[in-house]
Structure 1
């Protein structure tokens, strides 16, 4: 699928590109006091030409940035992983210098009729604000999520600090990536210390660790997570009433299930109403045909705070 640009956005503090495929925001840059910050990851291969069958999912061939997933993961509500809107082109409704509104219509018979989203670069701070509107054709409960992928720093680590949260678990063996480094289905305490398959331990809050690909679900997370590389702090905030959990995808590198796509590195910090990548039917976010569901969220960057010791 061709990489079709819908529009370029620019504000006093940043710029970015809105892409038709997935309706994704890519190539986001912020000016942080004269330093150019690029918080979102992108695939090292750019956009690949069509491959021999079986074709990889379209979004994987141009992976990176941020986009919504409706439904999220693998779901009985949609044959496409991460939903119809992930592997299909969106269309532009309106665009200004710093704001774009785009939409996609879903197939006839789907529980979702239409998605609309607005992307706005702030003129007041290095910040991008989003709204996602879900129009339903009928009452349904489906998994929904957002899929921003942060870039790893060239040197050092990202220190993660989630907002107040409940239980933390690694993916069960049936849902873990093929090259997972963490022991499956384990409970993790607030300190983030997790067991590896080889018997050693690691702290989830410092990424990237050793090579591997893992999924971790932070349940009942209060709508925020910070990632600090020692110079820049990137913060994701969202409405936890709609998306109560945070799914962390460590791709160091990822895409082990698709050997033709090698070398992708990034950190998915994904607010979800979902259970990992395979949510049981009837669980997730409840939609109504009588009123649209609107989810607001934002990404911003700022200078790092002085480092504090971990508890």
Structure 2
């Protein structure tokens, strides 16, 4: 790694680091109002190992929070329900997991002394010209404000998402997901990881505390980490643009706020020792709390098609215009329990 691969900021209420690879934000330390220091963002256990350099860009130093344009990646349609299989195409030429920005080194931009700013130009064949990201600690609070801009070469529709991944305590059930009320929840229509399923496929639910389980009955998807080894995805529609994780073991709450008009759904990625192959090796425990405009992250072809989520009236892609750059703002903040 080069000396300039990371930059950091400190302020009265914390310290943060951003890496050029994926423009990923972590580690972050917040100083709470009671004086305690907490670090809520996740860092993958392999990220500092030499063998990680051979991994795809997004996995190499997987950590914290970053934006995804386009969000998602294509998967084979084998064994999927018919209403999904009919809209699942092959990967597009040059398709990268969660988009070009998730897999490459961004360039530092000049910015105010109290913020960090980065830019990444996309390949010439992409409808996206460039993406920009500015990360600014709140000088008055243990909080970080983030601006994300997308500039396109031509009019297009794309699925997009934000990808915050949070650390979980070691003890089963020692953290609680707090979503508030929502309109509809959906389980993944297939296995996220074969042999590591927890929830019934392709079902709906109204409460996170009672998600249909593959073994029958309901599972509480709000208490983390799980006792069982599992890898799962849930999509939540109709939230008000806020979600929180209360870490009871470490005595803090971390809250995420976003613009729901840009991200009408929330994808919950439960990575709970379910993936056994390298580099995961059954040791990856984290929760992704990801505002999205996407159908489960199933890739651009599915997102642009008349998929079952789009049919229900929930947008799974956004319109972009070269005349008007897209700008969204979101915030990560911490407080004591």
Structure 1 and Structure 2 fold alike (TM over 0.5): yes
Partner of 1:137: 153
CA distance in 2, matches of 1:51, 1:29: 24
CA 1:287/1:163 → structure 2, altered by over 3 Å: closer, same or farther?
A: farther
* Higher mean C-alpha displacement, 17-26 vs 148-157: 148-157
Q: Which position in structure 2 is the counterpart of 1:309?
A: none
Higher helix share: 2
Deviates more, 1:132-141 or 1:147-156: 147-156
Is 1:227 paired with 2:245?
Answer: yes
Q: Could you tell me how far 1:133 is from its partner in structure 2?
A: 0.1
Counterpart in the other structure of 1:181 = 198
State the distance in 2 between where 1:135 and 1:113 align.
6
How many residues align? The count is: 300
**Counterparts of residues 82-93 of structure 1 (less than 5 Å):** 82-93=98-109
In terms of mean alpha carbon deviation, does 3-12 or 200-209 score higher? Answer: 3-12
TM-score (norm 2): 0.83
Distance 1:3 1:162 in 2: 39
Cα distance in 2 between the residues matched to 1:2 and 1:169: 43
Tell me what 2:49 maps to. 48
Moved more, 220-229 or 295-304: 220-229
1:133-167 deviation per Cα after TM superposition (whole angstroms, max 9, x unaligned): 00011111111000010110243422112143211
Equivalences for residues 212-251 of structure 1 within 5 A? 212-230=230-248, 231-251=251-271
CA contact (8 A) 1:170 1:183 kept: yes
Following TM superposition, by how much is the alpha carbon of 1:45 offset from its aligned partner in structure 2, in angstroms?
2.2
Give the CA deviation at 1:4.
5.6
- 2:168 pairs with 1:152: yes
Residue 177 of structure 1, CA deviation: 2.7
Q: CA RMSD in A?
A: 2.1
Query: Is the Cα contact below 8 Å between 1:10 and 1:97 reproduced in 2?
Result: no
Aligned pair partner of 2:138 in 122, 127, 135: 122
Kindly indicate whether the alpha-carbon contact (under 8 Å) linking 2:295 and 2:303 is maintained by their aligned counterparts in 1.
no
Unaligned runs of 5+ in 2: 75-90, 305-315
Among residues 279, 294, 302, which one is paired with 2:327 in the alignment?
294
Separation in structure 2 between the aligned mates of residue 38 and residue 192 of structure 1, nearest angstrom: 26
Question: Pairwise mapping of residues 204-283 of structure 1 onto structure 2 (< 5 A)?
Answer: 204-210=221-227, 211-230=229-248, 231-256=251-276, 258-262=277-281, 263-279=283-299, 280-282=302-304, 283=316
2:213 matched residue in structure 1:
196
Corresponding residue number in structure 1 for 2:25: 25
| Equivalent residues of 1:69, 1:144 under 8 A apart | yes
Between Structure 1 and Structure 2, the one with more strand by share is 1
- Matched residues in 1 for 2:197 and 2:4: separation? 33
Q: Which moved more, 1:146-155 or 1:132-141?
A: 146-155
CA offset at residue 95 of structure 1? 4.4
**Residue 56 of structure 1: how far off its partner (Å):** 3.3
For residues 121 and 59 of structure 1, the distance between their equivalents in structure 2, rounded to whole angstroms, comes to 25
Q: 5+ unaligned residues in a row in structure 1: which ranges?
A: 305-311
Give CA-to-partner distance per residue, 1:7-49, whole Å, 9 cap, x none.
1111110111110100111110001122111011111223333
Return the offset for 1:253: 2.0
Q: CA offset at residue 86 of structure 1?
A: 0.5
Distance 1:3 1:177, change over 3 A: farther
Kindly state the Cα deviation for residue 94 of structure 1 after the two structures are TM-superposed: 2.0
TM-score (norm 1): 0.90
Secondary structure of 2:55's aligned partner: coil
